[in-house]
Amino acid sequence: MARVALVTGGTRGIGAAISKALKAAGYKVAANYGGNDAAAEKFKSETDIPVYKWDVSSFDACSEGIKKVEAELGPIDVLINNAGITRDTAFHKMSLEQWSAVINTNLGSLFNMTRPIIEGMRARKFGRIINISSINGQKGQFGQVNYSAAKAGDIGFTKALALETAKAGITVNVICPGYINTEMVQAVPKDVLEKSILPLIPVGRLGEPEEIARTVVFLAADEAGAITGSTLSVNGGQYMA
């Protein structure tokens, strides 16, 4: 029977590529999203992947959303914590709201999503938890103290939980994308991209969402059970940790 995979932020950008790749690999996929109903409906109609709307920064919303997914598709075997937001500004101008929104969504969501699922994975002696962090959680980034702090926290979360769950057959890994060819990066002015960003990337190009998705499919496989607590950098050589 096909394993069930849940992808947060799974209807756009990197998340959409992950959802599609998991479906192509034979998983029953549920794609969570937070707010863009039009994009979610378009994604659903194009892929036939069911979509579920809830706020990953809310523990109660995650618990209820997960119950609905499991009632409709079955117990969740693979969890991809991909949802994230930015509220960029220099720290001396940062508001509490900008700090809290990013920390609660980009880091708090890992607890909110994983805690309701982990006991079922432990009981079944199988699970794959894959967290999507960022190059900026590894090296930091000007104007992103909130984002970098949350994404660095994702890495620490991964390592600690991997230690706790290894004997239960659950692996926990984290992927750190660099500059990926998504709508957000495409919005960067072309001259800035060509003069300030691409020269920093040794391979000389942006990554593609599908490259992140292939990494997820690899880590999600039953055959990847010896890989846990790992940080995989997909950044074209921009930062080597």
CA dihedral (88, 230, 12, 59) positive or negative: negative
Q: What is the pLDDT of residue 95?
A: 98
Structure tokens at 118: 């982990």
Other beta carbons within 10 angstroms of residue 24's beta carbon come to: 12
Q: Which two tokens stand for residue 186?
A: 């495409």
Say how far apart CA 171 and CA 158 lie, in whole Å.
Answer: 9
- Measured distance CA(231)–CA(241) in Å, rounded: 9
Q: Residues 205-215: what's their mean pLDDT?
A: 98
pLDDT digits (tens, 9 = 90+) for 54-93: 999 999 999 999 999 999 999 999 999 999 999 999 999 9
Task: In whole angstroms, give the CA distance from residue 128 to residue 3.
Answer: 11
DSSP class of 3: P
Express each pLDDT in 110-130 by its tens digit. 999 999 999 999 999 999 999
| pLDDT at res. 215 | 98
Contact 106, 85 (CB under 8 A): yes
What residue has token string 């690899």?
Answer: 218
Q: Note the pLDDT of residue 187.
A: 82
Q: What is the pLDDT of residue 186?
A: 85
pLDDT tens sequence across 158-209: 999 999 999 999 999 999 999 999 988 888 888 989 999 999 999 999 999 9
* pLDDT recorded at residue 207: 97
What number is the average pLDDT over the span 33-49?
97
Q: What is the pLDDT of residue 192?
A: 87
Q: What pLDDT score does 184 carry? A: 80
pLDDT average, residue stretch 146-152 = 98
What is the model's pLDDT at position 241?
Answer: 81
pLDDT at 109: 98
Active site residues: 147
Q: What is the model's pTM?
A: 0.97
